[in-house]
Amino acid sequence: MMNSDIRHRRYKGLFRFDYRWTKIPKCKAVVKDKWATRFQGSRWFRIHSKLKACRQGLLQWRRVSNSNSGQRIQCLKEDLKQLQEAREYDSTRVQQVERSLRQEWQAEEVFWRQKSRVEWLKAGDKNTAYFHATTVQRRLRNKIVGLEYQYGKW
């Protein structure tokens, strides 16, 4: 019997590489630096250790960087609104913010395409709230907390 009760203890999830990071030079520098670390042992142990070091480095970098494109989109929208309502209209600054906003929308789209594992975005659907809801629902449905054997033993 499978128990998928979501009220049990939380666990650390798997490390997932975010494709958006490939566009950030600092991320590439973190990977390059961590991969250059020397380890002793068999070839496979060294590879495993380098991958582990890269994962830990990327997790540290992610904590200190602002990689939430949704939050950046909101900030850019507010900036654009303030610029458009300002007494002195600065067209070059407005164009810069609009360009940044387009880039963030593309980054958000890449994130949800990677997260959803669905090809619908290739057809042009940009309804990210829908994809967010489906990924959260799938994660809750697929979570296995434990296996129950006969006579109620776990």
Say whether pLDDT at 109 is over 70: yes
Q: What is the pLDDT of residues 45-66, one digit of tens each?
A: 999 999 999 999 999 998 888 7
Burial class of residue 62 in the structure, from the number of CB atoms within 10 Å of its CB (0-12 exposed, 13-18 middle, 19+ buried):
middle
- Unique residue bearing structure tokens 């991969």: 35
User: Cα-Cα-Cα-Cα dihedral of 113, 65, 62, 134, to 10°?
Assistant: -30
% of the chain at pLDDT higher than 90: 21
Task: Please give the distance of CA 1 from its chain centroid, rounded to a whole number.
Answer: 33
What pairs with residue 3 in β-bridges?
146
Domain locations along the chain = 20-67, 68-154
Each residue of 72-107: pLDDT tens digit?
888 888 888 888 888 887 788 888 989 988 888 888
Q: What is the mean pLDDT of residues 105-112?
A: 82
Rounded Cα–Cα distance for residues 93 and 7 (Å): 48
**pLDDT band for position 36 (50/70/90)?**
very high
